[in-house]
Amino acid sequence: MSNTSHTWKYLDRKPGSCYKQLFVKGRNIAARTLYGRYMSAEEPMTPEEIAADYNLPLEIVLEVIAYCESNPPEIASDWAAEEALAEATGMNDPNYKGKPKVLSPQEMARLRKL
């Protein structure tokens, strides 16, 4: 993982989370969530706006941007796992009606290993 080769001051793994990507320490905010606000095609926000919106010091937002722009493999891994879960439960089906397919414990275990 990229966080082993770089020490982040404000970012860390979320204890007990199945996500591998980093979160803002002490907050339930994934770095990718904040970066998404920064990179939004519809309404991009400045780092200062994100800091104000989330009540965070600007320094944290800047570190989030640096982390995400380093293209950490854990973000891609989390994205792939979420896509595999959506596919397995039928949520990617164009006819999806809001009720995901229930997965067996074996299928859930297989998906967790991705």
51-93 confidence digits (pLDDT tens): 999 999 999 999 999 999 999 999 999 989 888 888 889 888 8
pTM to 2 decimal places = 0.78
| pLDDT above 60: residue 2 | no
- One-character DSSP codes across 68-96: HHT--HHHHHHHHHHHHHHHHTTTTSTT-
% residues pLDDT > 90 (the chain): 59
Query: Of 6, 35, 29, whose CA–CA distance to 17 is shortest?
Result: 29
Count of other CB atoms within 10 angstroms of residue 69:
11
Q: Could you give the CA distance from residue 7 to residue 27 in angstroms, rounded to a whole number?
A: 18
Q: Is 12 helix (H, G, I), strand (E, B) or coil?
A: strand
Domains, in order of start, for the chain: 2-72 (1.10.10), 74-112 (no CATH)
pLDDT at site 3: 42
51, containing H or E segment: helix 47-54
Q: Taking a C-beta distance cutoff of 8 angstroms, is the pair 19, 55 a contact?
A: no
